[in-house]
Structure 1
Amino acid sequence: MWGLLAKIQKNLTTAIPILMILGVITGAMVDASVLKNLIVPLTLLMVYPMMVNLKFQELYKINGFKLQLSALGINFVLIPMIAVVLNWLFLKDMPYAALGLLLASLVPTSGMTISWTGFAKGNLSAAIKMTVIGLIVGSLLTPIYANVILGQSISIPMGKVFKSIVFVVFVPMLLGFITKKWLVSRHGLEYYQKNLAKKFPPISTLGVLGIVFVAMALNAKSILADPTSLIQYLIPLILLYLINFAISTLLGKLFFDRGDAIALVYGTVMRNLSIALAIAMTAFGEEGAQIAIIIALAYIIQVQAAAWYVKYTDNVFGVYKPH
């Protein structure tokens, strides 16, 4: 079973479109409203496992201040501003899609930040720190940004959003911390790192696929009534990632060495789409599934873009030379 889950995780660009199509077919054929009952358990299945491997001890290291500050500036100033412009250009008549794009832009870094940084031989320690800082800061700023930017277009339930963030970020974070402590005390750190740590990310993938399926099933009739809306969602998404890659790559080449530059790219381009999905589905009621569509599409672009970028990393930043 673990081998199958790991294989699915490595092939999200195939698995997610398949689940999206199956969701639309299911929602077109039957009344999918009963699937709303799965949102909370699938959300926990998606978020809790990825919190277990977070390395909070990296926060105590004071090195790399310039790099972390640069990542914060890109993640919480430049990228949200770009999302606002793209929303105005492409989604100004589609406020819930605009909110989906904004949510995706406001919650940076995920476990994939660390994975892709490792694949490209970047600074793993810096990437881990970016992941923890980005998750905490993004969770705290998201409801404020959403209300300021889109509060005039749609009603942002601030109380619900804050409660949702506590439920889908900080409670799983605490449970993940406790789980890791217990497993390490029971089995030892070496056994945990070698045998247990790798089992959690594939479990999280099941939750992602489940949430994507539910979101598409709940929106199936509106999607089939206007399938061109998916293309309209894709254009600003593709532009967001292209601009993000360009800015992070340029700043990385100008101001940092190879390892730090790669960490900067993946620490700013990889969005925590699982958290964005979880907030959308738990805080916005009926509209949550509509918001989730554009976030589900972002998974496809993000994974593909990250994989291609690894292939050309040496061309951009030079060949890796072990110390």
Structure 2
Amino acid sequence: MWKILSWLQKYMIWSIPLSMLAGLLFGMMANPSFLRWTILPLTFLMVYPMMVTMDVNELLKPGGGKLQRVTLGINFLLMPAIGYATGLLFFAHQPMVRLALLLTSLLPTSGMTISWTGFAKGNVPAAVKMTVVSLIAGSLLAPLYLKILLGTVVEIPLQQVFLQIALIVFLPLLLGALTRRWLVASFGEQ
């Protein structure tokens, strides 16, 4: 298991596209709906280790405003513009495909952002902040974008969004902080 995770981390530039391709091919050859129940627990298992290694106090420190603004600009200006333009250019007469492209480009990912940031030895506290802010902003902006760009009204279930944030970000954060506290008390900071 550790060898696989080490390989994924070492060759991330290859492992991500290969995983996406494998998932796409599997979805074309078989009905993947039976795997739906695994999404939440597997995402939790990918996020939790990153939270154990993170000092929760880092989340409370000020700063990172420029990074947050750039991320929000990319997530909610650049990516929706690319998704919308792609839809108009290639699928002008297929409104459902254009809707799917716009939604896909507008709604950011959640737990995987944190996991891949940790695997890449990046700034996990900043990724946690970005994930929470982007999920909330995406939920609030998606109906507005869809109405303005496609003339479609889509209701985003905010209660589900906040539940997803709680399960994918805050629960691993809480359990990771408790685990970290126990590990430091038992074995020291090393």
Query: TM-score by structure 2 length?
Result: 0.72
Offset, 1:106: 8.9
CA-based RMSD: 3.3
Counterpart of 2:81, as a letter, is V
Match of 2:108, SS state, is: helix
- Contact 2:48/2:176 (<8 A) preserved: yes
Q: Any idea what the Cα deviations from partners look like across 1:19-77, whole Å, max 9, x if unmatched?
A: 34443444444443322232232222232222222222234545xx4xx2222222224
Distance (whole Å) between structure 2 residues aligned to residue 186 and residue 3 of structure 1: 27
In structure 2, the residue matched to 1:99 is 103
Q: 1:48 to 1:145 in 2, by over 3 A?
A: farther
Identity of aligned residues (%): 30
Distance (whole Å) between structure 1 residues aligned to residue 140 and residue 178 of structure 2: 29
Match of 1:175, SS state, is: helix
In structure 2, the residue matched to 1:84 is 80
1:171 aligns with 2:171: yes
In structure 1, the residue matched to 2:51 is 51
Match of 2:136, SS state, is: helix
In structure 2, the residue matched to 1:187 is 187
Distance (whole Å) between structure 1 residues aligned to residue 163 and residue 79 of structure 2: 24
Q: Spell out the pairing of 1:261-272 with structure 2 (5 A cutoff).
A: none
- Contact 2:110/2:131 (<8 A) preserved: no
- Contact 2:109/2:131 (<8 A) preserved: no
- Contact 1:75/1:106 (<8 A) preserved: no
Distance (whole Å) between structure 1 residues aligned to residue 124 and residue 165 of structure 2: 21
Offset, 1:189: 0.9
In structure 2, the residue matched to 1:273 is none
Q: Any idea what the Cα deviations from partners look like across 1:176-233, whole Å, max 9, x if unmatched?
A: 111211222222111xxxxxxxxxxxxxxxxxxxxxxxxxxxxxxxxxxxxxxxxxxx
Distance (whole Å) between structure 2 residues aligned to residue 19 and residue 109 of structure 1: 15
Distance (whole Å) between structure 1 residues aligned to residue 111 and residue 70 of structure 2: 12
Which residues of structure 2 form unaligned runs of 5+?
A: 89-94
Distance (whole Å) between structure 1 residues aligned to residue 20 and residue 143 of structure 2: 29
Q: 1:148 to 1:175 in 2, by over 3 A?
A: farther
Structure with the larger RCO, 1 or 2 (CA within 8 Å, 6+ apart): 1
